[in-house]
Amino acid sequence: MTTHRPTTPGTSPTQSPTKTTRSTSKSTSRNRRRTLVALTLAGLTLSSLAACGRDATSAGGEAQSDAIDDSPATGTIEVWAMGAEGEALDDFTQAFEKENPDADVEVTAIPWDSAHDKIQGAITSGQGPDVTLVGSTWMGEFGASGGLMPTPEGLVDSGDFFTGAWEGNQVGGTQYGVPWYVETRVLYYRSDLAKKAGWTSPPQTWDELKQFASDLQTKAGVDYGISLQPGQTGSWQTFLPFAWSDGAELANDDGTEWTLDSDAMKESLDYYSSFFTDGLAQTHVMDAGELESGFADGTYGSFVSGPWHAALVEDAGVDPSDYAVAPIPGPDGPGSSFVGGGNLAVLTDAENPDGAWKLVRWLEQPDVQQDFYDTVGDLPANSTAWKSGDLADDEQLAVFGDQLDRAVSPPAVPTWEQVADVIDGRVERTTKGLEDVDQAVEEMQSEASSVGTGL
């Protein structure tokens, strides 16, 4: 099996990559180690949106921008990109400049640590790039601020993209960006230990996952059958896939009200917390590297995480033949997951919006997405790019591609980061036995309603 080999130091289900890690890895000779960038997404409060000098409730429901023609791009196109993308994009876009000889792409690499505030500052001042990479859970915040242009009509075919990633760019019914690259979470498990426990194929349902974790403990000798995040920042990324798989909807259709207090939310939180009360999952927050070393030495039999973890567990000593990945189980079959990644957006105050959108359109072409995957390792958001090359032939990547077909993004609303913190807190209280499920979900809904959606 060809192994996806990113290096994202310190990433684990207990340290959400969406919050805490950056990716700066390069390809190596062994299986062309790929970099899969985990985004660092910070919250943008309603007060800071107001400080931008734009009406935070005015965006959304706008008409899409006018269509972009097929003539060559011209002029200077300023781009902000973060992490490995920022490092690679300047050289990569030389091919675009050859196709558009009167265009000059200028890329500024921005650290993820400061990216959110820099984009916010650019929106405030009107002095920023034409195109910027935007973290997947920032779209609601910046789209609602009025700082991003609606995506032009017909720029790309929405049907070519993973649904969850595409919908994550919609704010109040308006598309404000295009998914550039994606990532999602799947189940990692020690296949050698699973075989010892009597499992020749991975679990697909909730009942099977529970039995699988139990069998790994009682028959294969692991300390914990599964590692799940017991709370703290980013635990929603591990918990919500179970809720989405059970049919939970976090907000109403227009994103104006939270709908967290559903039976599906209660049922899924009850199921999730049972792994901790039954002793199948650890209740402590792990130190950096603890999961990877524990997966290698048989302390943990399985865990949920993203594609970057393939490199981490192998670097910890797990032989590629001794572990596998599988879709996250749902109530009655393969379930949903969280889709993260990065989006491309054009600022409202862009000096060269025509050239900017033409660059975005070029970066979204399937062959260009495949080339960027070969260069940096980002999984393409355009699903048609998965039909050839390594993306089509690699068994491990195929699991991520399958999971992406059912992956979901949280509501693209300005207050998502605040509500995510609410969910994190209630998940933690439930897994620690400090709150029963009904109370946790009721408080979750109450706190989220007090925050509002910002639309």
Structure confidence at residue 388 (pLDDT): 83
**What CA–CA distance (Å, rounded) separates 443 from 447?**
6
pLDDT value at 92 more than 60: yes
53 — pLDDT class (breaks 50, 70, 90): very low
The DSSP-derived string for 37-85 is: PPP------HHHHHHTTS-TTT-SSPPPBPPP-SSPP-EEEEEEEEHHH
Q: pLDDT tens digits for 308-352?
A: 999 999 999 999 999 999 999 999 999 999 999 999 999 999 999
311 lies in the same domain as 382: no
pLDDT at site 59: 52
Q: What is the dihedral of CA 39, 44, 50, 54, to 10 degrees?
A: 20
Same domain, 355 and 430: no
pLDDT at 4 over 90: no
CA-based R_g, the chain, Å: 21
- Tokens in use for 91? 């050289």
Residue 150 domain flag: yes
Find out whether 190 and 215 touch, Cβ atoms under 8 Å: no
**Position 137 in a domain:** yes
Q: Tell me the mean pLDDT in the region 170-185.
A: 95
Give the percent of the chain with pLDDT over 90. 81
Amino acid 445: pLDDT = 98
CA distance 343 to 176: 9
Give percent of the chain above pLDDT 70: 86
Q: Read off the tokens for 182.
A: 């994606």
Residues 177 and 198 both lie in one domain: no
- Residues contacting 29, CB < 8 A, separation 6+: none
What is the spatial distance between Cα 424 and Cα 402, in angstroms, rounded to a whole number? 27
Q: Are residues 205 and 353 both part of a single domain?
A: no
- Is the pLDDT assigned to residue 31 strictly greater than 70? no
Token pair listed for 167: 């919908």
Say if residue 41 is in the same domain as residue 149: yes
State both tokens at 393.
Answer: 């032939």
Residue 289 lies in a domain: yes
Q: Are 97 and 192 within one domain? A: no
9 domain residue, yes or no = no
Q: What is the mean pLDDT of residues 271-291?
A: 95
- pLDDT of res. 66: 86
Flag whether pLDDT at 28 surpasses 80. Answer: no
Mean pLDDT of 42-70: 53
- Residues 403 and 346 reside in one and the same domain: yes
Residues 167 and 295 in one domain: no
pLDDT for position 21: 30
Q: Report the chain's mean pLDDT, rounded to a whole number.
A: 87
Q: Is the predicted pLDDT of residue 81 greater than 80, yes or no?
A: yes
Band (pLDDT 50/70/90 cuts) for residue 6 is very low
Domain count, the chain: 2
pLDDT value for 390: 83
The enclosing domain of 420 has a CATH number of: 3.40.190.10
Strand order in the sheet with 302-305: 302-305, 186-189, 324-326
Helix (H, G, I), strand (E, B) or coil at 112: helix
Q: What is the longest distance spanned by two Cα atoms in the chain?
A: 67
At 338 the three-state DSSP class reads: strand
pLDDT at residue 12 greater than cutoff 70 = no
Range of the domain at 446: 186-336+413-451
238/312 same-domain check: yes
When pLDDT is averaged across residues 413-422 and rounded to a whole number, the result is 95
For residues 190 and 160, state if they share a domain.
no
Report which of residues 111 and 24 the model is more confident about: 111
Mean pLDDT value across residues 98-118:
96
The pTM (predicted TM-score) of the whole model is 0.85
Contact 390, 371 (CB under 8 A): no
Closest CA to 275 of 221, 326, 210, 218: 210
Residue, of 145 and 8, whose pLDDT is higher = 145
Domain identity same for 95 and 166: yes
Residue 19's CB is within 10 A of a number of other CB atoms, namely 20
Q: Which residue has the higher pLDDT, 21 or 186?
A: 186
**142 & 215 share domain:** no
Range scoring the smallest mean pLDDT among 25-39, 104-118, 234-248: 25-39
- Alpha-helical (H) ranges within 126-223 are 139-144, 163-167, 191-196, 206-218
| Partners of 380 in the β-ladder | 181
With contact defined as beta carbons under 8 Å apart, do 227 and 281 qualify?
Answer: yes
Q: With H, G, I as helix, E, B as strand and everything else as coil, classify residue 134.
A: strand
Is residue 89 classed as helix, strand or coil in its secondary structure?
helix
pLDDT of residue 60: 54
- Calculate the CA 280 to chain-centre distance: 26
Query: Above 70 in pLDDT, residue 57?
Result: no
Residues 435-443: what's their mean pLDDT?
Answer: 97
- The more confident residue out of 39 and 320 is 320
pLDDT tens-digit map of 194-227: 999 999 999 999 999 999 999 999 999 999 999 9
pLDDT confidence of residue 65:
84
